[in-house]
Structure 1
Amino acid sequence: MRRVLVTRPAQDAAQWVADLQAQGIAAEALPLIAITASPSNQAALQAARERLAHPPAFYRAVMFVSGNAVEHFFESNHAPALTGKALAALETRAWTPGPGTARALLQRGVPAECIDGPAPDAAQFDSEALWARVAPQVRPGDRVLVVRGASAGEPPGLGQGRDWLAARIHAAGGQVDFVVAYERGAPAFDAPQQALARRAAHDGTLWLFSSSEAIAHLGRALPGQDWAAAHALATHPRIAQAARTAGFGCVSECKPALADVAAFIKSCP
């Protein structure tokens, strides 16, 4: 069975490595996205917390783009009055793009009956799959808060007007607010990590990608590296295309759920 490199941010990667290893898969973490707090956006983030912490309900729903969005939004030292149960008491729905984010919400005390996301057997875990489940909730005049990350150095408003989910909400008569909870940046490889990455470019290792941004960071970390002999497993068609563009010689796709990823890996010769 192939060795697998999990390229998610460190905290997410650690959980995935543990879950894959529990299934007998030789998994190792090589985080390709660094997650940091976003000091420049703290005022807006705190204002959003306060709007949610006190009745009446200001938002119909809060969409958390990732588990990291959940963790940074519910930081106890910043939001002492805001808990998952308080969110539920305000009758505000919690939207997620996939099961990892839903798990983070459950860990923060949000009741399962208040969380909406794609079906467990959905073909993809993304905004499109989420919207298929939550579209009937949005009524004219409703507001939705999107808690997201931003690439380091990205202006706070970049991309908001072009966001696919926001466009759907606007079309339904709703309004969307965005708040940046954390920043995504490139990792700083140490010497062992660089050596690991270069070996994995040609030794049959399976690179597990869940982000196109991670692939871009890898290219910048190892300029000039030949990826023609490298194998990538992507959890979304857009990510698969990014891997092909980066030069990966073999690119496969599978559904993003852990069970599907594990089954694919076990099927590899």
Structure 2
Amino acid sequence: MSFTWPTLVVTRPQPQADAWVERLVALGCPAVALPLLVIEPQAAFVPAVSQAWLSLAEHRLVMFVSPNAALQFFAQAPSGQRWPMTTWAAATGPGTVAALREQGLDAAQILSPSPDADQFDAETLWQQRLADRDWRGQKVLIVRGEDGRDWLASTLREAGAQVDLLAAYRRVGPAWDATSLSLLSRIEAAPAQHAWQFSSSEAVRHLAAWIAAQPMPHPGLLQAPALATHPRIAETARACGWTRVLDVTPDASQMLACLRAWVEGPRASSPA
């Protein structure tokens, strides 16, 4: 029997959602974008981001929490300003590394977890690339949204670094327009033919909040399996009502291999 892929619903913010859809479709899996986070540039943040560019050479490390953090930061680079050779850029995952490379940074300037790491997060970045360095008296800048986890900032400060946090954008929930509502209706009607790709606990909570606010139950949305790219995200999905949750790495090929093995599992164990 030939294998039929479920449609993978990519919930990442744009422009990453469309890029992931293209990648998955190229690998043979139907996919559709339903961003559950929206990245909003904020005029109030521009002066601070522009000013940070002028003092980059004073920093030993600038850490970007996401591809959008890199995109928003580089969008405010003053004309003629270049990344200093003595400053490292850090990223927790391959998507952010790719965004930094697209901005012209050399691979040698970027610190990130190994491509075959079990997890792509701040803890792995620290353990693999930062923990064995001397941070006493070093200046570090963490570029992120309005808020976020403070684990890496606290850890670097405990190691003696001077850490500043820079808000470069704001994250908000989706607008729930006609296109997204139509897609939700299709998923509700045929959950077995769809699967969620969750790359953010915040995105999971946005969808769960929408479901809870509806006058009628939407069990099909929770019945579609969920692929979570980090254990914390998987834990959030389960807490919000998803029962079929698979921990995966944020690599398209490996993700699809896990999804196929998972979908075929019951079929393989059933009587011929």
Q: Normalised by the shorter chain, which TM-score bucket?
A: 0.7 to 0.9
Q: 1:228 offset after TM fit, Å?
A: 4.2
Q: Is it true that 1:211 corresponds to 2:200 in the alignment?
A: yes
Q: Is it true that 1:142 corresponds to 2:138 in the alignment?
A: yes
Q: 1:20 offset after TM fit, Å?
A: 0.7
| 1:191 matched residue in structure 2 | 178
Q: Output the CA distance in 2 between the equivalents of 1:169 and 1:178.
A: 12
1:165 equivalent among 152, 165, 179: 152
AA at the equivalent of 1:99: P
| 2:49 matched residue in structure 1 | 45
Q: Output the CA distance in 2 between the equivalents of 1:46 and 1:136.
A: 31
| 1:131 matched residue in structure 2 | 126
Q: 1:255 offset after TM fit, Å?
A: 1.8
| 2:84 matched residue in structure 1 | 87
Q: Is it true that 1:71 corresponds to 2:71 in the alignment?
A: yes
Deviations 1:142-171 (Å, cap 9, x if unpaired)?
Answer: 011001012xxxxxxx56xx7110121111
Q: Output the CA distance in 2 between the equivalents of 1:59 and 1:187.
A: 35
Q: Is the contact made by 2:11 and 2:33 (CA closer than 8 Å) also made in structure 1?
A: yes
Deviations 1:89-128 (Å, cap 9, x if unpaired)?
Answer: xx00010001111111111111111111000000111100
* TM-score normalised by the chain length of structure 2: 0.87
| 1:34 matched residue in structure 2 | 38
| 1:233 matched residue in structure 2 | 227
Q: Output the CA distance in 1 between the equivalents of 2:67 and 2:109.
A: 16
| 2:116 matched residue in structure 1 | 121
Q: Output the CA distance in 2 between the equivalents of 1:7 and 1:138.
A: 38
Q: 1:182 offset after TM fit, Å?
A: 0.8
Q: Is the contact made by 1:87 and 1:110 (CA closer than 8 Å) also made in structure 2?
A: no
* TM-score normalised by the chain length of structure 1: 0.88
| 2:240 matched residue in structure 1 | 246
Q: Output the CA distance in 2 between the equivalents of 1:8 and 1:70.
A: 15
- Structure 2: 5+ residue stretches without partners: 265-272
Give the root-mean-square deviation of aligned CA atoms. Answer: 1.7
- Structure 1: 5+ residue stretches without partners: 151-157
Q: Is the contact made by 2:97 and 2:110 (CA closer than 8 Å) also made in structure 1?
A: yes
User: After alignment, is 217-226 or 31-40 more displaced?
Assistant: 217-226
Q: 1:136 to 1:81 in 2, by over 3 A?
A: farther
Moved segments of 4+, more than 3 Å: none
AA at the equivalent of 1:203: P
Q: Secondary structure at the match of 1:147?
A: strand
Deviations 1:193-252 (Å, cap 9, x if unpaired)?
Answer: 112123324522100000000011112333243344231111111111111111113111
